Amino acid sequence: MAVDMSSLMKELKPAAGMVLVQTVFAGMNILYKLAANDGMDLRILVAYRHIFGAAFLLPLAFFFERKTNRGITWTVLMQAFFCGLFGGTLTQNLYIAAIKLTTPTFASAITNLLPATTFILAVLFGMEKVGIRTNPGKAKVAGTIVGIGGAMILTFYKGPELVMWHSRVDLLRGIHSPPPAHLDFSSRLIGSLLAIASCLTYAIWLIIQTKMSQFYPCVYSSTALMCLMGGAQSTVFAFFLQKDWNEWKMGFDIRLLTVIYVGVVASGITLTVMTWCIRMKGPLYASVFNPLMVVIVAIMGSFLLQEKLHLGSVLGATFIVIGLYAVVWGKKTEAKDEVELPVQKQCDLGNADIKS
């Protein structure tokens, strides 16, 4: 019994960690929208996010990993540079642009394409096998197609408004720049393309992070290096487009609250947890929990921002989730078969020896 409980706890830790990650990311989506409607340049917010994350993680890396750190090589620096580029600078700047053009719920729903995108890239890089003649292989391919179809529905079909509950709370009330009354087709289309591009860069980061975790298993140090690289890249990018220093100043307002939250909590803490989960379970496992963020963001957005839900968003998100779990089932079944097949072969060899 003790062994079973120990195994159960070992399995639950990565799951609990990813639930925490998605909950924090959901809160980040809401704060992004509030900061954007307050007039903050979100490119500056991304730069501050990684700077604050690096400042939070560097002392932790020094105190907890100074004795076990293997040393930073040029390979580690190169991997950290690309982790910062794809997982930080590109992904975040594309995603915040999508949120600004649409809503947090809409943008987060599109990002449920992440598992399918990760699967396609993993196949292209030789990290996954399709196995189209097997049931798990068919499930992965079908799930990918269904997920992409869901994203198309989410983008091109709006449908009637759904009123699921009433809330009098509206955090956007009184914000300097009012949110748009509705999403026109061009905004939905451009926002969708930006969110899909964000999925692509995020999936690339998951694959690079997996390789980096195998080569350099120091969780705090690798995440701190990623934030450091992402901070430098994002700062150069933001300053190139926004040279007015007044836009970089912050007071005791929603902007500072958002920067602290996304820097310390979303980058410093949750990226560390996510890096650990990727090392334990791989990139596809880390992407499985994305649908949870959609549910949390939809509830938060409806209660706190007076967001309107539409039939197209619900249908599209539903198809994306169905496709997601088809891919996950295929992946899980393949892993189970890979474990059981050698055992079966050993049993067959043993029976053959007995008969002889």
Task: Tell me how far apart the 2 most distant CA atoms of the chain are, in Å.
Answer: 85
Cβ–Cβ < 8 Å for 141, 314: no
Distance, CA of 19 to CA of 25 (rounded, Å): 10
**pLDDT score at 346:** 47
Distance, CA of 194 to CA of 184 (rounded, Å): 16
pLDDT, mean of residues 183-190? 75
The string of pLDDT tens digits covering residues 109-123 is 777 777 777 777 877
Cβ–Cβ < 8 Å for 88, 217: no
Confidence band for 35, pLDDT divided at 50, 70 and 90: confident
Distance, CA of 156 to CA of 1 (rounded, Å): 52
Structure tokens of 210? Answer: 């997996």
Distance, CA of 285 to CA of 272 (rounded, Å): 16
The string of pLDDT tens digits covering residues 216-246 is 888 888 889 999 999 999 999 998 887 778 8
Q: Is the pLDDT of residue 164 over 70?
A: no
- What lies within 8 Å, CB to CB, of 90 at 6+ separation is 198, 201
Residue that the structure tokens 């998605």 belong to: 22
53-to-2, 167, 270 alpha-carbon distances in Å: 38, 34, 10
Annotated domain spans of the chain? 15-330
Mean pLDDT is highest, among 35-44, 180-189, 293-302, for 35-44
Cβ–Cβ < 8 Å for 191, 98: yes
Mean pLDDT is highest, among 65-74, 144-153, 249-258, for 249-258
**pLDDT score at 181:** 42
Among candidate residues 29, 12, 81, the one with its CA nearest the CA of residue 290: 29
**pLDDT score at 16:** 82
- For residue 309, the cross-strand partners are 162
**pLDDT score at 174:** 52
Cβ–Cβ < 8 Å for 261, 27: yes
- What lies within 8 Å, CB to CB, of 17 at 6+ separation is 273, 274, 276, 277
Cβ–Cβ < 8 Å for 35, 255: yes
Residue 264 burial (C-beta neighbours within 10 Å; 0-12, 13-18, 19+): middle
Distance, CA of 308 to CA of 297 (rounded, Å): 12
Q: Is the pLDDT of residue 175 over 80?
A: no
Phi, psi at 309, each rounded to 5°: -95, 140
Mean pLDDT is highest, among 68-77, 114-123, 146-155, for 68-77
Distance, CA of 60 to CA of 55 (rounded, Å): 9
